[in-house]
Amino acid sequence: MENILISFKLLLTTYGLKLIGAIVVLIVGLWIISLIGRAVRKVMDKREVDPTLKPFIKSLVSATLKVLLGISVISMMGVEMSSFVVLLGTVGLAIGMALSGTLQNFAGGVMILLFKPFKVGDYIEAQGHDGIVSEIQIFNTILKSLDNKIIIIPNGGLTTNSMVNFTAEPLRRVDWTFGIAYGDKTEEAKKTIMSLIEEDPLILKDPAPFVAVSELGDSSVNFAVRAWVKSEHYWDVFFPMNEKIYNKFNDVGLSIPYPQMDIHMHNAK
C-alpha cells in the first residue's frame, strides 16, 4: 500500500501540473474558438454569403480548430504525437489524391457561393454550354438551356476557366449586321434602320443607337447596327428586328442580296 501511495504521489507530481495546464488550455481554446466562430458568422453576414453556405463554413472552421486544439492538449500531457500526425497526414494525402477531382469541384462550389460570379436566374456561357442557372450545388451547377435541356457543369471548371455572364449587368448591347445590294442608297438604308430602332419602345435612347457601313462585302454592302436594351429584353428586340428590317427594306425598294457570282462568257476565235 505504501508503494502504491508513493507511486501515486510521483504520478501526481509528474503529470498534475501538465493536466492542470492542459485543462486550462482546453477551456481557453474552446472560448477562443467560439469567438472566432462568431466573427466568421459576422463576416459572412456582412458579405451576404449564401445562407446555405453559412452553417457549412462555420462548422468547418470550428471542427478544424477543435482538432488542432485537441492535438495541442494531448501533446501537453506528454503523449508523443509525431507518429500520429505523420499517419494522419499520409491518410489525408491518399484520400486527397483519390478525390482530387471531387475536392476541386467542392472548392469551386465554395468559391462560387462566396464570390458570386453568377447567381440563380443568370444567363451564362461556360464550358461550351449556355443556359439559365437553375441551381448552384456544392459540387455542380445546374443550367437549363433555352430549349429546356438540363446541363450539369462541375464547379471546378467554372472557377478555373473563362465564363460569360450575360445578365450580370442591367443593360446589354444588341448587335446586328444587315446588308443591301450594290447600287442601293446607303443613306436610305441608314434612315430606314434608324426609324425602326426609334419606333421600338424596348430600345433605349441612351446610350444612343449606332448605324454605319461596316464592310463592302463580296455580294453586299453591310451595316453594323448596335442598340442598347435592358438585359431581360435582349431576345424580345433581337428577333423581331430581323423581321422588321426584311419587310421594311422590301417596302422602300431596298434589296437584301444573297451570295452570287457573275460569270462572263467570251467566244474564243
- Tell me if 126 sits within 8 A of 154, measured CB to CB: no
Residue 102: CB atoms within 10 Å: 13
* Radius of gyration of the chain from its Cα atoms, rounded to whole angstroms: 34
Q: pLDDT value at position 8?
A: 54
Cell 471531387 identifies what position? 102
- Tell me if 199 sits within 8 A of 147, measured CB to CB: no
Give the C-alpha separation, 54 to 51, whole Å.
5
Q: What is the CATH number of domain 2-98?
A: 1.10.287.1260
Fill in the DSSP letter of residue 201: T
Q: pLDDT value at position 137?
A: 80
Q: pLDDT value at position 237?
A: 95
Give the C-alpha separation, 185 to 180, whole Å.
9
Q: pLDDT value at position 18?
A: 72
**pLDDT string in tens for the chain (269-residue length):** 556 665 656 555 556 667 777 788 888 888 888 888 888 888 877 877 666 566 667 767 787 888 788 877 777 766 665 655 665 666 665 655 554 667 788 888 888 877 888 888 899 999 889 999 988 887 888 999 989 999 999 988 888 888 999 988 999 999 999 999 999 999 999 999 999 999 999 999 999 999 999 999 888 999 999 999 999 999 999 999 999 999 999 899 898 887 766 677 777 65
Give the C-alpha separation, 258 to 223, whole Å.
15
Q: pLDDT value at position 71?
A: 76
Fill in the DSSP letter of residue 229: E
Q: What phi and psi values does residue 50 have, to the nearest 5 degrees?
A: -50, 130
What does the block give as the cell for 24? 486550462
Q: pLDDT value at position 94?
A: 60
Q: What is the pTM of this model?
A: 0.60
Q: pLDDT value at position 10?
A: 59
Sign of dihedral through CA atoms 121, 123, 125, 131?
positive
Q: Which CATH number fits domain 171-252: 1.10.1530.10, 3.40.50.1860, 3.40.50.2000, 3.30.70.100?
A: 3.30.70.100
Give the C-alpha separation, 162 to 6, whole Å.
72
Q: pLDDT value at position 175?
A: 96
Three-state secondary structure call for residue 164: strand
Question: Cis bond leading into 240, ω under 30°?
Answer: no
Q: pLDDT value at position 11?
A: 56
Identity of residue 173: R
Fold of 118-165: SH3 type barrels. (2.30.30)
Give the C-alpha separation, 133 to 175, whole Å.
24
Q: pLDDT value at position 200?
A: 95
Q: pLDDT value at position 107?
A: 82
Q: Where are the domains of the chain?
A: 2-98, 118-165, 171-252
Give the C-alpha separation, 204 to 183, whole Å.
32
Give the C-alpha separation, 153 to 185, whole Å.
49
